[in-house]
Structure 1
Amino acid sequence: MPISPNFTSIYEQEFELSFLNCYPNGLLKYTDLCNFIQIVAGNHADLGGISYSDMQTKNQAWVVSRMRLEIAKLPKWRDKVVVKTWIKTLENSRSIRCVEFYLNEEKIIGCETFWVVINTKTRKPDSLVLPHNHFEKFKSDATQKNTDKITIGSDLNVVGNKKVLFSDLDVVNHANNVKYLEWCLDFENPKNLLLSKVKAFDMNFMRELNLNDEAEISKSSIENESVFTISKEDKIAYALKIEWK
């Protein structure tokens, strides 16, 4: 699609939380929080002419490689949140996008995401072909720490297994990144999630998982920190670090 006349380099969108977005305590699910980030990033890309549909004309797509979320507090059912996003850097096949959540004009969540362009035929990184200079780049940070590679120790213990089902797939025909988080959180203590004890998430996405793939979920814990990995055939596809309050 052509660049929308409504395009701006900083994009904002309001969401009203429904009960479908919330845990039994009425607070926003961490997985739905990540879904909102995907939606806002996608809508901004649509307006700027670098959407999935635009990029598919060149056999390209954006995939998220790393993500960091810092959470001061979670909004609740019926709250209206404003989500703001901008691009920090965009060069060749890589881009850093920042996202912030506001409730009653108070910033409650910050997120930094690191994206990579892949060729959807070769499934390898590819330099972005479409024009993007109309996106102004902003050096402002949304988080106190930047996205980074997670250090994975040797004290991981297998906690479960997962087979990728059709319902896990997204438009790029692989398990959507939010599914990895969902699978890991299912092996956390629900009380910690319901009491909103998560201070921050770091996520690394290393390999795709596809329909019918069999994956192994492992976990290690130290004080105020949990690390999960999801592996296929002894190769890590995803890593998650949770910082607890």
Structure 2
Amino acid sequence: MTEGIFEKDWKLNFTQCYPNGQLKYSELDNILQVTASEHADILGFGTKAILRTKQSWVLSRMLIEIEKLPMFEQTIKVRTWIQDFTGSRSTRNFEVLFGERRLIASTSLWAVFNIEARRAEPLIASTDHVVPHPDRIMTSRTAERIDGNVSFNKIRDYQVVLSDLDIVNHANNVKYMDWCFDALDPKDVLTGKIKSIEMNFLRELSYGNQVAINEAKIDELTSIYSISKADRPHFLMQLTKKG
């Protein structure tokens, strides 16, 4: 591990892949986040450590740019590092490699969350030893705010169930991706033509919440999906296809 940069190898198993052998988009998201979590553990402010102070990391925004999805039984390398840290928020970047080829680049914005007060606050744990890499940027742009002020059509209703919850007792953000992709035509998902996935995690969801999954087609290559509760958006995801 280069100073401040963490690497982890993942051999893709059958549960992580679609019927065509490609890595599932939600599993890609999960792999990135688990790798980030392991790096945070090494740095001393991972989930287990900061739960002692009633804090947790929550994902606020993420941009994933995909050149090619890895396949079943391939071993990929995920490399991650912190770009910057401001006390209550952190930007973390990733790259996914197969051999020497970079398949995927990602950037993410994280916030520190008080699990009792259910609000953001500065991290209590020390970060003086963190080595940031402010100039090591892999994506074409930053993870931005998605414009949700568009005309959506509801495509599915959903109720949050126990298997959606994580250790912080809310629906894990990876599940949001699953709900959206499961509402789409499988043919559109399995083509491997998605160029980028951008996500905004706006509000948490809890067990039993009734939500609507909505779609807005912006143009031939771009669509926006929302997960809303009582007409209030909790999640936005913008998909851009390869031209």
Same fold (TM over 0.5): yes
Match of 1:99 in 2: 94
Q: CA deviation at 1:155?
A: 1.5
Q: CA deviation at 1:7?
A: 9.3
Query: Do residues 168 (structure 1) and 164 (structure 2) align?
Result: yes
Amino acid at match of 2:54: N
Match of 1:113 in 2: 108
1:157 aligns with one of 129, 153, 156: 153
TM-score, normalised with respect to structure 1 = 0.95
RMSD: 1.2
Amino acid at match of 1:147: A
Match of 2:183 in 1: 187
CA distance in 1, matches of 2:108, 2:25: 16
Match of 1:47 in 2: 42
CA distance in 2, matches of 1:194, 1:57: 42
Query: Do residues 67 (structure 1) and 62 (structure 2) align?
Result: yes
Match of 1:211 in 2: 207
Match of 1:223 in 2: 220
Q: CA deviation at 1:203?
A: 0.2
Match of 2:85 in 1: 90
CA distance in 1, matches of 2:148, 2:214: 11
Q: CA deviation at 1:153?
A: 3.4
CA distance in 2, matches of 1:32, 1:172: 20
SS of corresponding position for 1:39: helix
Amino acid at match of 2:141: K
CA distance in 1, matches of 2:158, 2:183: 12
Unpaired runs of at least 5, structure 1: 1-5
CA deviation profile, 1:115-174 (whole Å, cap 9, x unmatched): 000111101111011011211010211211110000123311111111000000011110
Unpaired runs of at least 5, structure 2: none
Percent of matched pairs sharing the same residue: 36
Deviates further, 146-155 or 170-179: 146-155
CA deviation profile, 1:163-219 (whole Å, cap 9, x unmatched): 000000011110000100110111222112211010000000000000001111111
Match of 2:143 in 1: 147
Match of 2:71 in 1: 76
Match of 1:237 in 2: 234
On the 8 A contact 1:7/1:48 being kept in 2, the answer is no
Deviation >3 Å, runs of 4+: none
On the 8 A contact 1:117/1:128 being kept in 2, the answer is yes
SS of corresponding position for 2:180: helix
Match of 2:126 in 1: 131
Amino acid at match of 1:108: L
SS of corresponding position for 1:129: coil
SS of corresponding position for 2:198: strand
CA distance in 2, matches of 1:124, 1:10: 29
Amino acid at match of 1:231: S
Aligned residue pairs total: 240
On the 8 A contact 1:15/1:80 being kept in 2, the answer is yes
On the 8 A contact 1:7/1:47 being kept in 2, the answer is no
TM-score, normalised with respect to structure 2 = 0.96
